[in-house]
A and B are shown apart, each in its own frame.
Chain A
């Protein structure tokens, strides 16, 4: 007969799944655990997609919405992925309300390359998180939506009103700009 495994044997995904079940039944401590386990990453996501304004406010909206929608999580995808999608929906809606949809291309490619060149000079280095913040808007958005939230280029193209091809090239340029931070 198998023995019931204790908490320490659970993977992160299983721990999330159990806490989701408990939180859905009203267990506040389980919901708080989910919050603290995931808020750091969602904080970064929010900052990079919203800019500096309203970040705490939007974070709050995201987790209140998480509470309301938690019972719809069925466990086919990882909880973290599902939470990213929920957060991204809240953020995009908030941005649309704020009217920050910029029509411009989001920084020319020349600008990106120059920025990358500057960073490779010693003494001008900032940390990686700030580097992401400093990416031109469109490249930053695509990078965050693709590499953090796991969206496909076709979905990103829909969100941002660009073509999938543009999304691909923006992603590539964002990654190229950030590669300076890793020794190759």
Chain B
């Protein structure tokens, strides 16, 4: 049964009433149990829709997604197995894995022969910039997510640099030459992004840009190291 007040309940829940109408409705609710009950139930409907988790479809859907992506981008797309190949170990906490990566690169040297590897992992200042749990602004969350992602890239980058070093003799010299040169371009970008972040640690743009540059380095290294026997 609909009446004058009931019609307004949805708009009320969505915050769409004018202040005057809202006050009038709230006064009405104080005295009308049926409308109060309806308001609460409508709110529960709304909440149910907002949090509805649903049920997964048949597994064939995921397989279809994966196959279509591989059809469009080549069989190496969605490399789930490839990623596992480059993990340092299973189940290591991220921080420990990252520090191990730094150790490996330090011992193994680096493509350009530098003693330290600027591209592979976060320094103390960046880690300090990662916020502790608690209320955070959206920008701070974005910064955090970007830094966490960059940390993971750093570990993977360290792995791949090692792989490329060892396999260098098996790669065509032209490929290696181009890749090494362009890694230099990206490393310069990473160093500049890092320096900028140090100046302005709150900036979500700078953190995301840093993560983007790390990701580009990772992609370039992957392209050099993906060697497959036919």
User: Is chain B in direct contact with chain A in the complex (CB below 8 A)?
Assistant: yes
Is there an interface contact between B127 and A1, defined as CB atoms closer than 8 Å?
yes
Question: Could you say which of B64-72, B167-175, B177-185 contacts chain A?
Answer: B64-72
Is there an interface contact between B215 and A25, defined as CB atoms closer than 8 Å?
yes
A184 and B41 in contact (CB under 8 A), knowing A32-B62, A56-B57, A56-B58? Answer: yes
B:116-151 near A, CB below 8 Å: 124, 127-133, 138, 141-142, 144-146, 148-149, 151
Is there an interface contact between B130 and A21, defined as CB atoms closer than 8 Å?
no
Which of the four size classes fits the interface of chain B? 35 or more
- Quote the shortest CB–CB distance from B120 to chain A (angstroms): 15
A43 and B149 in contact (CB under 8 A), knowing A179-B45, A184-B41? Answer: no
Q: Report if A86 contacts B (CB, 8 A).
A: no
Which of the four size classes fits the interface of chain A? 35 or more
Complexed CA–CA distance, A6 and B94 (Å): 7
Complexed CA–CA distance, A100 and B91 (Å): 50
Complexed CA–CA distance, A50 and B65 (Å): 19
- Partner pick for B219 among A25, A35, A181, A183, CB 8 A cutoff: A25
A:7-65 near B, CB below 8 Å: 7, 9-10, 13-14, 17-18, 21-22, 24-29, 31-32, 35-36, 39-45, 55-56, 59-60, 63-64
Residues in B neighbouring A21, C-beta threshold 8 A: 145-146, 149, 211, 215
* Interface residues as binary, B206-218 with A (CB distance below 8 Å gives 1, 0 otherwise): 0010010001001
Residues in B neighbouring A44, C-beta threshold 8 A: 52, 54-55
Question: Could you say which of B74-82, B102-110, B190-198 contacts chain A?
Answer: B74-82
Q: Report if B21 contacts A (CB, 8 A).
A: no
- Quote the shortest CB–CB distance from B164 to chain A (angstroms): 17
- Partner pick for A28 among B41, B50, B52, B78, CB 8 A cutoff: B78
- Partner pick for A184 among B38, B55, B68, B124, CB 8 A cutoff: B38
Complexed CA–CA distance, A45 and B52 (Å): 10
- Partner pick for B145 among A14, A32, A55, A181, CB 8 A cutoff: A14
Q: Report if B53 contacts A (CB, 8 A).
A: yes
Residues in B neighbouring A42, C-beta threshold 8 A: 54
A17 and B145 in contact (CB under 8 A), knowing A5-B130, A40-B55, A60-B65? Answer: yes
Q: Report if B20 contacts A (CB, 8 A).
A: no
- Quote the shortest CB–CB distance from B77 to chain A (angstroms): 7
Complexed CA–CA distance, A160 and B11 (Å): 20
Is there an interface contact between A27 and B83, defined as CB atoms closer than 8 Å?
yes
Q: What 8 new A-B contacts, CB under 8 Å, besides A14-B148, A42-B54?
A: A6-B94, A25-B218, A40-B53, A44-B55, A56-B58, A67-B69, A75-B141, A176-B6
23 CB-based A-B contacts, threshold 8 Å: A1-B124, A2-B129, A6-B93, A14-B144, A14-B148, A24-B215, A28-B66, A28-B79, A28-B82, A31-B78, A36-B62, A39-B56, A40-B55, A67-B65, A67-B69, A128-B48, A148-B49, A168-B16, A179-B41, A179-B45, A182-B45, A184-B38, A184-B40
A: which residues have CB within 8 A of B?
1-7, 9-10, 13-14, 17-18, 21-22, 24-29, 31-32, 35-36, 39-45, 55-56, 59-60, 63-64, 67, 74-76, 113, 128, 143-144, 147-148, 168, 171-172, 175-176, 178-179, 181-184
